[in-house]
Amino acid sequence: MLSKRLPSVVRSLRFRLALSYTIIFGIFLSGVGVVFRYQLDSVIDEWMESLIEDDWNAVGGFLRIENGQATWSVDPRVPQQVFFLERLRRNLLLSDADGNILEASSGYRIFGVESAGELTRIAASATPVWRKKFHKAEGELLLRYGQFSTQGDKYLLVIGRRTSEPRVITRLFVEDYFLSIPLMLIVATFFGWFTSGRALRPVNELAETAQKTSGSSLHLRIDSRGAGDELDSLIDAFNKMMARLEENFDQVKRFSTDASHELRTPITGIRGQLEVALMTAKNTDEYRDAVINALEDVDRLSNIVRALLMLSQAETGQIEIKREPVDLGGIVGDLAEQFSTGAADENIGLTWSSDSDSLVSGDRTQLERLVTNLLANAIKYTPGGGSVAVSVVRRESVVELVVADTGIGLAAEHLPHVFERFYRVKRDDPEKGLGLGLSFVAWIVRAHGGAIDVQSELGKGTTFRVSLPRTGSAGMTPVPALLAEARQ
Ligand code: ADP
């Protein structure tokens, strides 16, 4: 709801990608800055400690303690020594083992002097102690507490250095770095906006093409970027979808053109016959003849309409294909027997054979329709004296149905088209068929996941070979057998 009220730019994926890129980059930069800041601090600490350690090692050469009195001796002619001592004594504290202060520099006092008890406790520690002291105006003081022994007596010596100067490095880093983050984020935002725009360009193209798509522009495709990424597979899927749509659309177009063409012939016939009758018929018999002829055409018309309806139902997936074990050999046997009388009348020898266990997984009604069509065609296109042989052969994963005739055959140029709707060879008698039988056969085969193939030689005969998947290769038990078993 809320997102609907936002401007479209803000709702866009590009904006959200660029924004998340900026946020993640901002978090990353800040994290890196914080880590660097602490790294820098600890490097400075280590550096200062090593300097203090050097001071500590040099102290012994200058400090004498006699009768509770500390004396510092330097050669005044060596300016480095004078300077060293001056710097050392700026932040220094010396106490005896009981916490009595022998010397405490004013620099030290600013940061606060420990109580005698505390000094005694630290003096007892055999290992050096490191501490930091803070003062609002003076900054930070790093201190080393350690035992100092001379003439058998133990003292506590504390020396230190102020760290405010080296800490300037950290401060400068923090200032420069964190001030530059907004600038880096602006650059990152532009970069994110640009790259996400580039990455999403195919999506926009897709949307534009989809919007432009209509029945007349189904040929539109989007060029693959060749990156092999998710967007390329989206483009690929889109192009394939468009190709399928184009094919289906073409099919529908062809279907309606073919259908109207096919329907026009009998309608013109009926009209012609009725008009002629109206103008020329002189008696009832002539009218009767005209009406009978017209009725024949009406019959043909309703056959076409019925076949078209069934085919369109089939192709739009409205006919449900059952999956049950069907004995193809049995179907062939039954149907061939029915056709044998008609074949014999035409003087055509019809033979059939079947392997045992020729169960296929399919729909009995549709498989019967398939066999009927092939058998009817074989007989229809075989002249008297010829023969038709039907066989069902069981192979490893399929059952093969072969319908071979010694009929008129087909020229090679027709073979790729015989499964198309309304395809008929010119020589055919228009009364003998609609050119829809084989397209229906092809659909049934496809719906069963099978394959069909035709071989033919003009004047010699034609062979149709259909392979259909067998029921679960291990031999699926037919449903009736299962039911019988369950009832026992
Ligand atoms: P029809 O109803 O016209 O037979 P089909 O789709 O069944 O339509 O067949 C398409 C065309 O293929 C037929 O017109 C015919 O010319 C040819 N055809 C089909 N089967 C055979 C066959 N066994 N021998 C020769 N030609 C055939």
Give distance in angstroms: CA of 295 to centre of ligand 1: 25
Amino acid type, 433: G
Q: Nearest residue CA, atom 16 of ligand 1? A: 425
Secondary structure letter of residue 430 according to DSSP: G
For residue 133, give both structure tokens: 């002291």
d(CA 111, CA 98): 21
Ligand 1 within 6 A of CB of 86: no
Give distance in angstroms: CA of 255 to centre of ligand 1: 19
Ligand 1 within 6 A of CB of 405: yes
Strand order in the sheet with 101-104: 101-104, 92-96, 153-162, 139-150, 129-135
Give distance in angstroms: CA of 370 to centre of ligand 1: 13
From the alpha carbon of 439, which atom of ligand 1 is closest? 6
Backbone angles phi, psi at 38, to 5 degrees: -70, -35
Ligand 1 within 6 A of CB of 377: yes
Ligand 1 within 6 A of CB of 423: yes
What's the burial of 407, exposed, middle or buried (CB within 10 Å: 0-12/13-18/19+)? buried
d(CA 446, CA 75): 110
Stated pTM of the model: 0.52
Domain with CATH 1.10.287.130 in the chain: 230-314
d(CA 123, CA 134): 22
Class level of CATH domain 230-314:
mainly alpha
Ligand 1 within 6 A of CB of 424: yes
User: How would you write 191-216 as a 3-class SS string?
Assistant: HHHHHHHHHHHHHHHHHHHHHHCCHH
Contact 42, 169 (CB under 8 A): no
Secondary structure letter of residue 283 according to DSSP: S
d(CA 28, CA 36): 12
d(CA 229, CA 203): 13
Strand order in the sheet with 461-469: 349-354, 387-394, 398-405, 461-469, 451-457
Ligand 1 within 6 A of CB of 75: no
Ligand 1 within 6 A of CB of 410: yes
Ligand 1 within 6 A of CB of 454: no
d(CA 378, CA 97): 124
DSSP track, 341-402: HHHHHTT-EEEEEE-S--EEEE-HHHHHHHHHHHHHHHHHTS-TT-EEEEEEEE-SSEEEEE
Ligand 1 within 6 A of CB of 437: yes
From the alpha carbon of 373, which atom of ligand 1 is closest? 7
Amino acid type, 291: V
Domain with CATH 3.30.565.10 in the chain: 321-487
Contact 143, 130 (CB under 8 A): yes
d(CA 196, CA 190): 10
Class level of CATH domain 321-487:
alpha beta
Give distance in angstroms: CA of 425 to centre of ligand 1: 7
Q: What is the pLDDT along the chain (488 residues), one digit of tens a residue?
A: 555 677 777 888 888 889 998 999 999 999 999 999 999 999 999 999 999 999 999 998 899 888 878 889 888 899 999 999 999 999 999 999 899 999 999 999 999 999 999 999 999 988 999 999 999 988 999 999 999 988 788 899 999 999 988 899 899 999 999 999 999 999 999 999 999 888 888 888 888 888 888 877 888 888 887 888 888 888 899 899 989 888 888 877 877 887 787 788 788 888 988 898 889 888 889 889 888 888 888 888 888 888 888 877 877 778 888 899 999 999 999 999 999 999 999 999 999 999 988 999 999 999 999 999 999 999 999 999 999 999 999 998 899 999 999 999 999 999 999 998 878 887 766 556 678 889 889 999 999 999 999 999 999 999 999 999 998 643 334 434 333 443 44
Q: How many distinct helices (H) and strands (E) make up the chain?
A: 13, 14
Contact 163, 44 (CB under 8 A): yes
Q: Which SS3 state, helix, strand or coil, does residue 163 take?
A: coil
Ligand 1 within 6 A of CB of 262: no
H/E stretch holding 477 reads none
Q: Which SS3 state, helix, strand or coil, does residue 476 take?
A: coil
Contact 472, 345 (CB under 8 A): no
Q: Nearest residue CA, atom 8 of ligand 1? A: 435
Neighbouring residues of 301: CB distance < 8 A, sequence distance ≥ 6: 263, 266, 267, 270
| CATH for the stretch 15-169 | 3.30.450
Give distance in angstroms: CA of 469 to centre of ligand 1: 25
From the alpha carbon of 424, which atom of ligand 1 is closest? 14
DSSP track, 305-328: HHHHHHHHHHHTT-SPPP-EEEEH
DSSP track, 224-274: --S--SHHHHHHHHHHHHHHHHHHHHHHHHHHHHHHHHHHHHHHHHHHHHH
pLDDT of residue 429: 62
Ligand 1 within 6 A of CB of 442: no
Domain with CATH 3.30.450 in the chain: 15-169
Q: Write down the residue that tokens 């026992």 correspond to.
A: 488
d(CA 107, CA 63): 19
pLDDT of residue 300: 82
* Sign of CA pseudo-dihedral 82, 86, 87, 88: positive
